[in-house]
Amino acid sequence: MAAARKPVVEVRRSERRRRTVSAYREGERVVVLIPSQFSRAEESEWVGKMLARLAARDLRSQRSDADLETRARQLAQRYLTEFGAIAMPASVRWVTNQNGRWGSCTPADRTIRLSERVREMPGWVGDYVLLHELVHLIVPSHNARFWELVSRYPRTERARGYLEGIAAAGH
Ligand SMILES: [Zn+2]
């Protein structure tokens, strides 16, 4: 792997922030927002952490359709073992237009689509969205049986909370 160019970092201190740190790209620069009372040592520690997080997010966003299919098979084998081929989709793709949904499944042709927005999220959230759609291959509706199968994934509650938070922030 080629050595990554070190980005220009601009640190902004905020009186309003107490403990939260966030970072985003602004053109070629990375802006890191930190609480105003952070020491220099805390500042450099957090700048390092946030750069690593952004780099990890970039790597995740490069995941292809093939990676997604591989992941779907792994999740089906792990959490929906007894269903065998029933839990295996014919295709899994990233799509841009999901009308606000994170994922969708068409049981008739066994296809699953995930929103590009999920690509930017942590892997454990993406796994939840994927497993949710895989379970729809077995149970089309959101009934008790459906949620029983989905909750085999241990981070189901956390992932649902994460997605609700994002949906709430976006509206
Ligand atoms: Zn669903």
CA distance 78 to 127: 12
Residues 6+ apart with CB under 8 A from 92: 65, 68, 69, 72, 111, 112, 113, 114, 130
Spell out where the chain has E strands.
Answer: 8-14, 22-26, 29-35, 91-95, 103-106, 111-115
Instruction: Output the six-digit token pair for 84.
Output: 């065998």
Q: What's the gap in Å between 63 CA and the centre of ligand 1?
A: 23
Q: What's the gap in Å between 93 CA and the centre of ligand 1?
A: 16
> Phi/psi at 113 (nearest 5 deg)?
-125, 140
How high is the pLDDT of residue 7? 77
Q: What's the gap in Å between 161 CA and the centre of ligand 1?
A: 15
Q: What's the gap in Å between 132 CA and the centre of ligand 1?
A: 6
CA distance 138 to 130: 13
CA distance 77 to 143: 22
Q: What's the gap in Å between 107 CA and the centre of ligand 1?
A: 12
User: For the chain, what is the mean pLDDT?
Assistant: 90
How high is the pLDDT of residue 1? 44
Overall pTM surpassing 0.85 (yes/no): no
> Phi/psi at 82 (nearest 5 deg)?
-70, -10
Q: What's the gap in Å between 143 CA and the centre of ligand 1?
A: 10
Q: What's the gap in Å between 136 CA and the centre of ligand 1?
A: 7
Q: Give yes or no for residue 2 having a pLDDT over 80.
A: no
Q: What's the gap in Å between 95 CA and the centre of ligand 1?
A: 17
CA distance 24 to 127: 24
CA distance 115 to 135: 17
Q: What's the gap in Å between 131 CA and the centre of ligand 1?
A: 10
Residue pLDDT, tens place only, 113-159? 999 889 888 999 999 999 999 999 999 999 999 999 999 999 999 99
Q: What's the gap in Å between 56 CA and the centre of ligand 1?
A: 28
